[in-house]
Amino acid sequence: MRLSARSNITTLNGVGGKMQSNFKSLHISNVGDLIRFVPFKYRDTTDILDIKTFKELETGTFLAQIVEVKNVFTRYGKSFTTVKVADNDSKTNLTYFSQPYLTNTFQPGDWYIFDGKITIKGNRKNIYNPKYEKYVGDPNMQVTLGKIFGTYHETKGITSRQIRKLLLQIKNDIPTLIKEYIPKKILEEEELIPIEEALTQVHFPDSTKSLELARERLAFEEMLRIAIKIETQIEEQSKKTSLPITIDTTLQNKFLKSLPYKLTNDQQLCITEIFNDIEQNNPMNRLLNGDVGSGKTVVAASTILQVTQSGFSSILLAPTTVLAKQHFETLTQLLTPFKVDVELCISAEKTISDADNKLIVGTHAILFQKDLPKDLNLIIIDEQHRFGVTQREQLLNIGENTPHYLTMTATPIPRSLTEVVFGSTKVSTIKEMPTNRLDIETKYVPTKKRIDCFKWIDKKIHESDFLEQAFIIYPLIEDNDTNIKSVKTQYENLTNSYFSNLKVGLLHGKMKDKDKNKILEDFRKKKSNILISTSVIEVGIDIPDATIIVIENAERFGLAQLHQLRGRVGRGDLQSYCFIIPSENIEEREKTLERLNYFTTHESGFDVAQYDLEQRGPGEVYGVLQSGIPRFQIANLGNIELLTKARQVARKLLLEDNAKLNKISKKLFK
Ligand code: ADP
Ligand code: MG
């Protein structure tokens, strides 16, 4: 059978069933997958030293002749091999462990290239287990040593070296296995090398320059994949129609006058952008990207008002009943003076009224309603990433005309992510916080000061005459056998000690919705002073007199999440505090401290999210968004320039020739 990219990986010499299943965890099942599995780092061994220089540098690649090889057996049954090597003016000894067969490999008189380093123990210098490859007389003809070679991500049962050896088997076949699919003209315009050359050079680079070109081509390809998706979506959206909204500026001005504050410039700008969109007969598709507490709700409210005065209905979807109720109350207050009918829908059983020209605020229970208003023309989703794509599609495909669509983020998303994940969506950003806001004082509390912190909180609440309230957050619901604290145990401990004179509530995700709501309502009504909770309170809860939040085992949380939690306080006129307490055993760990320190010294959610993204990667930070985040092997997620270039190419392909684009898409999305 002829070898093809689709040939099973087992067609390669040396790959059996066991290795085949190990390869699965690297997402490699056929020859093409292997060819597309690229090294994550490289070592340049093209600079071949003599022994003397190697000894001076104590590390590197050197050429030497085998003089003598022998196995030494120790009293404990272990063996090692000593190899004496020399060149024209120096000599040295090498030591290999547990490889007695090397006495057959190394033949005195043969020349080898070695790669390793000198280890110093006391006054003894040793070279342990250096890499070796027989010298064939010309460095260009070497396979690994003497060349630039890659290191691959390994998995159980598969080493980087094995991967390299397998690739070597098919190195010369790559040009026949992988065929170019991007039109030559585009390759020339974008100064990209052909795919078969890129995939050969990325594994076996001839030079630093050729490696760079190979990686450029492959990074471009990864971006092109995203770009084609984005441009196709934009194309599809542009074909949809919607009913335009006529903006009533007099009404908007009246609405603004009714607010107890002045909008920030960013809020104003976002409203202008949104109004501009909904005036079109092509549906709006926009993301409102804002920090916690930046005031997204009022932006949503003014949009709803315009849609209502134009005679249409709107829906606002929230991720939880608590948030739906909160939005219902806020929006009722903001919009009833302007004659907007607001309905709440948080249970699938209760059907919505058949009145038209209204606003429905609710949870996904809305999706179970048999009949949505016929005049629906605006859908707003708060905390978008909690909803699945299909649910969204369900709402948008309800009739001949598509409703205008706005999504609001729970936490700010850095631009590097919005560009790739929300590429086909327009983005409005609120960076600026309302000016009346006092900064939240964020403090790192070392564990030895933990008790002082609790005493201070107790005093503070008493001094405020029980006006001020506090959250205390733990990572776990119940203890496990680590030293990570849980809400249940700490609830017991704290109510019996530092907070015995206060009323304390307990909240966690395993409680029934009804109980959760009651606990939160009690806290809102000040029936409790302190709420001990897991991170379930992270999303959107607005309790203005909660001025203190303590987060224990703080290093267990991502910075974006800590920022969300911090956003639970600082919502009123009083000075607010956020205390982060690490786990006991991590206090020496520099990286963790650095991360927490970044958090305590940065207020902007955009900064914090960007830092988190760089440190932990997108999957960790945006678990729920993950399905939308592409996995790049080479391209850098934040390389907006490359994405822009790829989008231009995708657009060109789209306009030029759909058949060609289909062919390319097939290749890229196989
Ligand atoms: P988020 O963007 O997190 O959803 P909200 O819309 O809940 O934020 O707003 C947080 C608080 O800030 C609310 O109490 C709101 O009334 C208030 N607010 C919104 N905009 C302004 C502003 N421009 N000036 C002062 N307060 C504002
Ligand atoms: Mg909100």
Backbone angles phi, psi at 619, to 5 degrees: -60, -45
Query: Which has the closest alpha carbon to 131: 167, 105, 153, 169?
Result: 105
Q: Give the pLDDT score at 585.
A: 79
Pairing of strands 358-362, 313-317: parallel
Q: In this structure, which residue's CA is closest to atom 4 in ligand 1?
A: 296
Looking at the CA of residue 296, tell me the nearest atom of ligand 1: 2
Mutation choice for ligand 1 from 297, 407, 576, CB with most ligand atoms inside 8 A: 297
Q: Which atom of ligand 1 is nearest to the CA of 290?
A: 2
**In 3-state terms, what secondary structure has residue 660?**
helix
At residue 263, the 3 state secondary structure works out as coil
C-alpha 588 to ligand 2 mean position (Å) = 37
Ligand nearest to the CA of 383: 2
Give, in degrees to the nearest 5, the angle at Cα 14 between 12 and 15.
Answer: 65
Q: Is the pLDDT of residue 77 over 90?
A: no
Q: Which ligand is nearest to the CA of 265?
A: 1
Query: For residue 21, is pLDDT > 90?
Result: yes
- pLDDT value, residue 159: 92
In angstroms, how far is CA 378 from the centroid of its own chain?
A: 29
Name every protein residue with a CB atom under 6 angstroms from any ligand 1 atom: 261, 263-264, 267, 290, 292-298, 434, 436, 542, 571
Assigned superfamily of 249-430: P-loop containing nucleotide triphosphate hydrolases (3.40.50.300)
- Among 257, 259, 261, name the best residue to mutate to test ligand 1's pocket (greatest count of ligand atoms within 8 A of Cβ): 261
Distance 382 CA to ligand 2 centre (A): 7
Mutation choice for ligand 1 from 262, 298, 411, CB with most ligand atoms inside 8 A: 298
Nearest to 80, CA basis, from 64, 99, 62, 93? 99
At 438 the pLDDT is 80
Answer yes or no: is pLDDT of 617 > 80: no
User: How many angstroms separate the alpha carbon of residue 294 from the centre of ligand 1?
Assistant: 6
CB 271: neighbour CB atoms within 10 A? 23
Q: Which residues have C-beta within 8 Å of that of residue 26, sequence separation ≥ 6? A: 37, 153, 155, 158
**What per-residue confidence (pLDDT) applies to 614?**
83
Residue 229 CB contacts under 8 Å (≥ 6 apart), including other chains: 423, 424
Atom of ligand 1 nearest to the CA of 436: 25
Say how many Å lie between the first and final Cα of the chain, rounded. Answer: 22
CA–CA–CA angle 368, 370, 376 (5° rounding): 95
* pTM score, whole prediction: 0.81
Lowest mean pLDDT among 55-69, 108-122, 576-590: 576-590
- Residue 252 CA to residue 262 CA, distance in Å, equals 13
Residue of the nearest CA to atom 13 in ligand 1? 295
* pLDDT tens per residue, range 563-586: 989 989 988 788 999 999 999 877
Residues 127-144, buried b or exposed e (16+ Cβ, 10 A)? beebebbbbeeebeebeb
In contact, 45 and 61? CB cutoff 8 Å: yes
Q: How many residues does the chain have?
A: 670
Higher pLDDT, 506 or 660: 506
CATH topology assigned to domain 441-602? Rossmann fold (3.40.50)
Return contacts of 350-358, CB within 8 angstroms, 24+ apart: 356/313, 357/308, 357/311, 357/312, 357/313, 358/308, 358/313, 358/314
Residue nearest to atom 14 of ligand 1 (CA): 571
Ligand 1 atom nearest the C-alpha of 294 is 2
In this structure, the residue with its CA closest to atom 26 of ligand 1 is 434
Q: Do domains 52-146 and 441-602 have the same CATH topology?
A: no
**For position 600, what pLDDT does the model report?**
96
| Full 3-state SS string of 459-522 | HHHHHCCCCCEEEEECCECCCCCCCCCEHHHHHHHHHCCCCCCCCEEEECCCCCHHHHHHHHHH
Q: In terms of Cα–Cα distance, which of 568, 563, 562 is closest to 545? A: 568
Q: What is the arithmetic mean of pLDDT over 60-81? A: 90
- Cα angle 423, 642, 153; round to 5: 95
Per-residue pLDDT band at 649 (split at 50, 70, 90): very high
Tens digits of residue pLDDT in 159-176: 998 999 999 999 999 999
Among candidate residues 597, 537, 533, the one with its CA nearest the CA of residue 564: 537
Average pLDDT over residues 404-418: 88
Q: Dump pLDDT digits (tens) for 162-216.
A: 999 999 999 999 999 998 888 898 899 999 999 999 999 999 999 999 999 999 9
Domain ranges, ordered by start, for the chain: 1-46+148-178, 52-146, 184-239+643-670, 249-430, 441-602
For 47, other C-beta atoms within 10 Å of its C-beta total: 12
471 CA → ligand 2 middle, Å? 19
* pLDDT at 447 > cutoff 60: yes
Cα-to-centroid distance, 292 and ligand 2 (Å): 7
Residues 52-146, CATH architecture: Beta Barrel (2.40)
Rounded CA-CA distance 357/376 in Å is: 8
Ligand index nearest the alpha carbon of residue 322:
2
Mutate to test the pocket of ligand 1, among 291, 294, 299, 381 (most ligand atoms within 8 A of CB): 294
For the chain, what percentages of helix, strand and coil (3-state, to nearest 5) are there?
45, 20, 35
pLDDT digits (tens, 9 = 90+) for 462-477: 999 999 999 999 999 9
Residue 624: pLDDT band with limits 50, 70, 90: very low
Nearest CA to ligand 1 atom 22: 434
653 pLDDT higher than 90: no
Ligand 1 centre distance from Cα of residue 261 (Å): 9
